[in-house]
Amino acid sequence: MAGSEHSAKGKVTGSAGRFGCRYGRFVRKRVAEMEKISRASHRCPKCDTQSVERKGTGIWLCRKCGYKFAGGAYQPETPTLRVALRAIDRTRAVEGKTP
């Protein structure tokens, strides 16, 4: 009889392994992905180092320069903010070209 190989509990789901078999596979997968992003270190918009960490819901702090700022709940720069910054950059570029 061939031996079956078992993976460690929570290996696939990561941090969502604490939920066990509850809530469904996709919900646990989304939670694990969200927690992985929020717990990672991010780039500081002021000093440009990889040292920003999440302090609370939407509150981000750079460990190097001490810059505290508001951002998204799970990531400091949301997709909506990226769109807004792109529009601002385009507006500045157009204003700079006009005499």
Residue type, 12: V
44 is in an annotated binding site: yes
What is the C-alpha to C-alpha distance for residues 60 and 43, in angstroms, rounded to an integer?
11
62 is in an annotated binding site: yes
47 is in an annotated binding site: yes
Q: Decide: helix, strand or coil at residue 61.
A: strand
21 is in an annotated binding site: no
Between β-strands 59-62 and 68-70, what pairing exists: parallel, antiparallel or unpaired?
Answer: antiparallel
Annotated binding site for Zn(2+): 44, 47, 62, 65
Annotated binding site: 44, 47, 62, 65
